[in-house]
Amino acid sequence: MASRNSILAAIVLGGLAAGTIDIGAAMLISGKSMAFILQFIASGVLGEASFDGGLGTIVLGALLQWAMSLIIAAIFVLASLKFPRMRRRWVAAGPAYGVATYFVMTYVVVPLSAVGGGWHFAPIPFIKNLAAMLVFGLIIAAITRRYVKPV
């Protein structure tokens, strides 16, 4: 069985790495600044007021991003303890998990947040955001494979 330290390392390193890279991906996809991206994340809790909050809402957005990323990583790591094949076949499991994460975040979490909004589909943003989540899942899976032994 994997040690508690290796499990914690996979969750923390996987969550923080994937979450940080995801911020960069959001900047590339949207063409918006890091401050805007982080305030947008904070708007999930604060609504439109987030964009008038300055540094405080930027920090809140970063903390929320990393908290969500840690939770998402923890789910993958803990599931991989129950299903070790996820670590053995991490190149497939990670992107598949990224796809599942994309759909949960896009069609459950965001609509229930203060951002709200109705469902609408646009092919290019869908493809770009889905690709970012494939990478997100792959990062978490690779780090889990590295830290959680045996496989």
The residue extents of the domains of the chain are 4-147
Two tokens at 47? 């609504």
Residues of the chain under the 70 pLDDT cut = 1, 118-119, 151
Residue 118's pLDDT is what?
64
Contact assessment for residue 116 and residue 45, using Cβ atoms and an 8 Å cutoff:
no
Residue 115's pLDDT is what?
85
Residue 149's pLDDT is what?
85
Q: Distance from first CA to last CA of the chain, Å, rounded?
A: 9
Block residue for tokens 């303890």: 81
Q: How far apart are CA 135 and CA 128, in angstroms?
A: 11
89 by DSSP, 3-state: which?
coil
Residue 4's pLDDT is what?
93
Residue 44's pLDDT is what?
95
Answering whether pTM is above 0.85, one says yes
Q: How far apart are CA 105 and CA 87, in angstroms?
A: 23
Question: CA geometry: angle at 106 spanning 10 and 39, to 5°?
Answer: 80
pLDDT in tens, 2-19: 899 999 999 999 999 999
- Sign of the CA dihedral running 58, 59, 60, 61: positive
Q: How far apart are CA 142 and CA 10, in angstroms?
A: 9
Q: How far apart are CA 70 and CA 17, in angstroms?
A: 10
Residue 1's pLDDT is what?
67
DSSP letter for each residue of 25-46: HHHHHH---HHHHHHHHHHHHH
Q: How far apart are CA 78 and CA 45, in angstroms?
A: 27
Residue 116's pLDDT is what?
80
Cis omega (within 30 of 0) for bond into 150: yes
